[in-house]
Structure 1
Amino acid sequence: MAVFDPYADPSRTLRIALAALLLAAVVATAGAFAADPEAAAPSPVAYDDVVELGLSSETDALMAGSARVPRTQVFYSQLQYVVGYNGVESFAATLDDGRTERQFGYPIAAYVETFDDARPGTTGAGLFESERLGEWTPADEAVYVVGSEARSPAGETVVPFRERGAAEAFVADHGGRVVDWETVRGRSFDTDSAATVRAMAPERWAAADDRIAAAERRADRPVSVVVGEDEPTVEAAVAAAPPNTTVVVPPGTYEETLTVNESVTVAGDDALIRGDGNGSVITVRAPDVAITGVTVDGSGGQTRDPDAAREGREGGGPADGGAWDTNIQLGYGHGDAGIRAIDAPGLVVDDVAVEANASGLLLREGSHAVVRDLRVDGADEWQDGFMGITGMRSRVTVTDSRFEGGRDGIYLHRADGSVVRNSTFTDNRYGAHLMYTGDALLADNAFENELFAGITVMTRPSGNAIVGNDVRNSSAGIQASGTRTYIGYNTLVGNGLGFSTSSRGSLYERNVAANNEVGVRATTVVPSSRVVANDFVGNAEHATAGAGALRIWADGDRGNYWEGANLGTHEPGERAYRPTSPVDGALHRHVAAVAVRESPAVALLDRLRGTVPGARSGSITDPAPAAAPYSPERIDAALAPNAGPVHADWRAEPDERDGSTDENAAMNARDRDATSGGIGRETRRVDAEPTVTSARATTGGAGGA
């Protein structure tokens, strides 16, 4: 770019830059008064036309029949989109946070869904319901029932009414009290946030420890049958074994396929079970089966079953899925695999290797599994193979495993509560790929040379925690959609894109994005997440943003570290940094940009930003850029020659991992108290097993965070 050529004539460079910036300022000013301040308040729109915040579509899918979440739609003074909040409390939580008004302007009109004539009540499970959708009423003209027995999957529910009499009738049947809009605005609601997901991440790790320990106990059974001594084949031995015993498979190659119909352990000792190239090699159709110490190959290469998908669509498919979802569940879930489990909860797979022609391990219909030390070698070309693990409606706990080649290392579909940790992914299409899967933990994994991305989460789930992962030399590091996601302490080096902020009402903190083409990309049209205390170093571009409102990436006086942000005459933290600005974005690459940054034209443009809608669109600002990296030791370790994966000790207490300072303690307290867009309380837990509330152990890797 000629403007920032350090060998060009400095005076000519500065003149060109100043002219361009002054022109931008004039254009921005021309549009400042395009809206008529005397215009009447806009009328409500169809809710399908709003940009939704609040609950995820997946949470909505959990609500059967007439269950509803009262909705709000809001028109902001500096936002071209109408914002829809699922849950009145979601909107109320944003009114005094400061960030919303700076990004969107002030609310010029807000409407709530009132239920006077909709026969409101509660379901047998206590969810709020109504026979019909409500009617739109201005928020300050409605009355509200708070503290009633009516709930939603998000937790506490505020129920609006147009007339006080209707509200009092609801209170008579369901409890609570009637209040006005100002009271709702000042009320504190029992809601969770992405910070809550952060606090729960160590509990999910501990829950995985409990599952693994329970799996070890299930697999440890007395020996009843030895292949070659008591029965000639593995299949015959499994058929002969009494329940809750072990079948021993001595060293050797066993050319056969088998079905396990009893709760037994199949324990190999350097044993290879090889199929004939058709169908799955081992099929499990019983609960609490364990398969250990074997190598499996020779499965068929069918990655999906078109007949199953067609029959499913003709028969209506899964009740909560559309045609596309049905195709995925009935197609992907009906291919070949080295090990296939169907309606087989409690499966244990330990010390197993699979040469995968299609899926390595396929879990279907509630086949919740614990997987440890699984090695799946997939096809060299991802189009020729399939998934290392395919989990369809089956929660999986994976640890200390390796996935190389094939389509996706792990693909999970409606597998809430899954945990994938301490595992390695190489040369896949996607490393870990989640669809419709929430409340999961992806932690301390290493991804390298992933064609599309290391971690990808699609279809708007909620409550996922993605922490401590290392992604290198891939097209993208982490791309996670949904709501209330916690993405923290990840190390993203040498990728096309470090991470994207695709999840709403989420928290992105303490990530290191170094030497990527783009460090981070802002993708949501209406920002509702916090991006704070991340380190951006050596990226060709630290950040880019698509269309949408101004994104403010800081929390109070704590921003992010942007290499080059504090160049110039300002003291650290005195001037905002805008990574999407042509000048600010070049500070870490071009010396001449410093002189342009201090020009009067830029100062004028700075004053216009934040007040002129045209100067806000598609941009990012950090009003409190950090003077030094938050994780310098992790940066050094990640960029060292021949560096391996680097993991942070994210499970330590905040004051231990961030430094024991009063400032950090205050910021962590603020994180715990924040609502992050008002996403509601989590009602689904990891599982029904007991959990430990703190886990302090760590598992290797260079730290420093």
Structure 2
Amino acid sequence: MARFDPYADPSLAVRLALAGLLLVAAAATAGAFAADPEAAAPSPVAYDDVVELGLSSETDALMAGSARVPRTEVFYSQLQYVVGYNGVESFVATVGDGRTERQFGYPITVYVETFDDARPGTTETGLFRSERLGEWTPAEEAVYVVGSEARSPAGETVVPFRERDAAEAFVADHGGRAVDWEVVRSRSFDTDSAAAVRGTAPDRWTAADERIAAAERRADRPVSVVVSEDAPTVEAAVAAAPANTTVVVPPGTYEETLTVNESVTVAGEDARIRGDGNGSVITVRAPDVALTGLSIDGSGGQTRDPEAAREGRDGGDGTWDTNIQLGYGHGDAGIRAIGAPGLVVDDVTIEANASGLLLREGSHAVARDLRVNGTDEWRDGFMGITGMQSRVTVTDSVFEGGRDGIYLHRADGSVVRNSTFADNRYGAHLMYTGDALIADNAFRNELFGGVTVMTRPSGNAIVGNDVRNSSAGIQASGTRTYVGYNTLVGNELGFSTSSRGSLYERNVVAGNDEGARATTVVPSSRVVANDFVGNADHAGAGAGALRIWADGDRGNYWEGANVGTHEPGERAYRPTSPVDAALHREVAAVAVRESPAVALLDRLRGTVPGARSGSIIDPAPAAAPYSPDRLAAALDPDAGPVGADWRAELNGDTGTTTMDTRDRNATGGSIDPGARPAGPTTAPPTGGVADA
């Protein structure tokens, strides 16, 4: 197949390109009208077969007892997938905004889960529950209870019923009122969103400050025992110390292992505790223990306990989740904490053969000025910090080498900030962990990724990080994730839009092999106000509907998008189009970009489902970068990590806040017009909403 050569004779190049574009257009129209409009409405499908949006089903699974989230199934006219919404209100938020219809077509059939015979009610904490799953009923035939006491983790819950009598009975027991579908469609619901997560990021930083201050107070205790003066070993001194006192460890190397069973502070002064190469060096089994001023080495090299994992397989629930907790949480470590909430680790260095700091069973900890030096080969070591069902607050720390810098498993509410990660498999790796803040960290040379979030968590904020020379900068799954103000330079992939109902804004994406990649099959996230410069490919997309990366008349800045005869911002930009994708690399591509055939294909893409698959469009590319200072610093080879004053901006202190958190839509709010970069404000050729 002939390829477009930008250095060939322009007239020949244009003729070849136009011919190819017309063939694409013809192929796109073939079969576009194959669906029979007279066909009967499709029947509900098994919910396991839908593409889920709305509240994460992982959150649903974690709710106590028989708590549930009423579900909705929607068949769209231009989408080959059935979309499932966890929460009726999640679907309602998309009905009237015009954005979903622009990408998926109109909803031809909608089913809701009705609970007439499922004995519905509420849990002790107010969550909606039922003794069994509901039955599928056409949405327009159902009766809905709104304003009741029933809730979900995301807010108010709409409860559907097949018969009005059943709905009225629920109202009698739980309040609210029974309404029809048209009333539900017209309501606005106070549901959690990525915009809300955005607004909470500064509060999470403040909460971390408070935890650190409280940790300082816990660690500041009167001295009771001095090693070598009052006791011969550290182990003996810790055993002799009364609760809420300090054990002082003078300079020197202490070849021993110890267990801390009392709430004490172990304070070293240039002191090293060295194990014998077996098991963990320090084990903590009491609350409010503080370990400060220590160097630790000599742990065993067992990264997981085969016996614990075997017990999980034989006697546990057999799930992957349980097996990971039992395996990963029972290896060796420099410091191991078991059922030890309130742990403080400050000014500590660990030479780690396996994990550096291992937390499990609610050992919520604060780690400040912690340095973990892992193994040179990641397969030989383990995690800098392993947190199993234990919230961790990490600040001003360094993690080099080993498997993962920090691995958190069901550690909701954790904060990792102001820290440095280098030469790990993953830098920060979260599993089943939500409502976390990963902020203002530097990641370098991470083999698999800088920040990676897996297994469908919810409500994470990944803000102000600088990731370079790694396989991927940020890959976050789940729902309602806020990814903003990050600097992603020189990676194979800058970021992926793997999280549903999320917001990606104000990121500087420069010099990557691929700047960003749309990975969700059904787009539901916003990608807006990001700067894409110097990437081999600015963006790519997997299979799925058209992704519109803009918010109304505000898009992203794409180097090369505004070349040509049109005014900046006047013409849409398609980073997944072979022609548009070359504009920042090959100036000669503009001849094809301005051709009538491309204009025809642009219009075709907007109306034909076959031409939408696997593509991205920004209908309002910005005329200038949104973050020019950060962009310049990111491209300076002599500059260090690039930071952003995101807390001031998100708090509105600078007047440049970019997201209106009052918008109740499940995917976020609207961009503040005051934050638009300088340049023409010509209206885009089509409306848009940022959807990944």
- RMSD, aligned CA: 1.4
Alpha-carbon distance in structure 1 between the residues aligned to 2:14 and 2:127: 63
Aligned partners of 2:455 and 2:478 also within 8 Å:
yes
Alpha-carbon distance in structure 1 between the residues aligned to 2:625 and 2:166: 56
Q: Which amino acid aligns with 2:334?
A: G
Indicate which of 319, 322, 333 corresponds to 2:329: 333
Q: Which amino acid aligns with 2:434?
A: G
Q: Where does residue 43 of structure 1 map in the other structure?
A: 43
Aligned partners of 1:609 and 1:615 also within 8 Å:
yes
Aligned partners of 1:57 and 1:461 also within 8 Å:
no
Kindly report structure 1 stretches of 4+ aligned residues shifted beyond 6 Å: none
- 1:66-123 CA-to-partner distances (Å, cap 9, x unmatched) read 2211110000000000000011100000011222111111100001111112221222
Alpha-carbon distance in structure 1 between the residues aligned to 2:3 and 2:288: 67
Q: Where does residue 493 of structure 1 map in the other structure?
A: 489
List runs of 5+ in structure 1 lacking aligned partners.
680-705
Alpha-carbon distance in structure 1 between the residues aligned to 2:652 and 2:137: 49
- 1:390-439 CA-to-partner distances (Å, cap 9, x unmatched) read 00000000000000000000000000000000000000000000000000
List runs of 5+ in structure 2 lacking aligned partners.
670-692
Aligned partners of 2:526 and 2:668 also within 8 Å:
no
Alpha-carbon distance in structure 2 between the residues aligned to 1:634 and 1:674: 31
Alpha-carbon distance in structure 2 between the residues aligned to 1:323 and 1:127: 25
- 1:520-542 CA-to-partner distances (Å, cap 9, x unmatched) read 00000001000000000000000
Q: Where does residue 281 of structure 1 map in the other structure?
A: 281
Q: Which amino acid aligns with 1:676?
A: A
Q: 1:327 to 1:244 in 2, by over 3 A?
A: same
Secondary structure (helix, strand or coil) at the match of 1:673 reads coil
Q: Where does residue 416 of structure 2 map in the other structure?
A: 420
Structure-to-structure mapping, 1:534-613, within 5 angstroms: 534-613=530-609
Q: Where does residue 19 of structure 1 map in the other structure?
A: 19
Q: Where does residue 125 of structure 1 map in the other structure?
A: 125
Q: Where does residue 234 of structure 1 map in the other structure?
A: 234
Structure-to-structure mapping, 1:514-553, within 5 angstroms: 514-553=510-549
Q: Where does residue 264 of structure 2 map in the other structure?
A: 264
Aligned partners of 1:52 and 1:85 also within 8 Å:
yes
Alpha-carbon distance in structure 1 between the residues aligned to 2:168 and 2:662: 35
Is 1:386 the equivalent of 2:382?
yes
Aligned partners of 2:93 and 2:664 also within 8 Å:
no
Alpha-carbon distance in structure 1 between the residues aligned to 2:553 and 2:238: 64
Deviation of the 1:4 alpha carbon: 4.4
- 1:449-485 CA-to-partner distances (Å, cap 9, x unmatched) read 0000000000000000000000000010000000000
Select between 1-10 and 485-494 the one with higher mean Cα deviation: 1-10
- 1:595-616 CA-to-partner distances (Å, cap 9, x unmatched) read 0011111011011112101001
Q: Which amino acid aligns with 1:83?
A: V
Alpha-carbon distance in structure 1 between the residues aligned to 2:532 and 2:636: 16
Deviation of the 1:655 alpha carbon: 8.5
Q: Which amino acid aligns with 2:659?
A: N
Deviation of the 1:3 alpha carbon: 4.2
Aligned partners of 1:221 and 1:265 also within 8 Å:
yes
Deviation of the 1:124 alpha carbon: 2.2
Deviation of the 1:135 alpha carbon: 1.2
- TM-score, normalised to structure 1, is 0.93
Q: Where does residue 30 of structure 1 map in the other structure?
A: 30
Alpha-carbon distance in structure 1 between the residues aligned to 2:186 and 2:54: 19
Q: Where does residue 66 of structure 1 map in the other structure?
A: 66
Q: Where does residue 683 of structure 1 map in the other structure?
A: none
- TM-score, normalised to structure 2, is 0.95
Structure-to-structure mapping, 1:381-530, within 5 angstroms: 381-530=377-526
Q: Which amino acid aligns with 1:8?
A: A
Deviation of the 1:172 alpha carbon: 1.0
Q: Which amino acid aligns with 1:640?
A: D
Q: Which amino acid aligns with 2:15?
A: R
Alpha-carbon distance in structure 1 between the residues aligned to 2:384 and 2:197: 27
Aligned partners of 2:245 and 2:265 also within 8 Å:
yes
Aligned partners of 2:52 and 2:86 also within 8 Å:
yes
Aligned partners of 1:507 and 1:676 also within 8 Å:
no
Aligned residues with identical type, % of pairs: 86
Aligned partners of 1:54 and 1:678 also within 8 Å:
no
Q: Where does residue 686 of structure 2 map in the other structure?
A: none
Deviation of the 1:203 alpha carbon: 0.4
Alpha-carbon distance in structure 2 between the residues aligned to 1:341 and 1:289: 10
Alpha-carbon distance in structure 2 between the residues aligned to 1:532 and 1:29: 30
Indicate which of 648, 659, 663 corresponds to 1:668: 659
Aligned partners of 1:300 and 1:357 also within 8 Å:
yes
Is 1:345 the equivalent of 2:341?
yes
Alpha-carbon distance in structure 2 between the residues aligned to 1:53 and 1:543: 23
Aligned partners of 1:191 and 1:678 also within 8 Å:
no
Deviation of the 1:654 alpha carbon: 4.5
Q: Which has the higher contact order (CA 8 A, sep 6+)?
A: 1
Secondary structure (helix, strand or coil) at the match of 1:94 reads helix
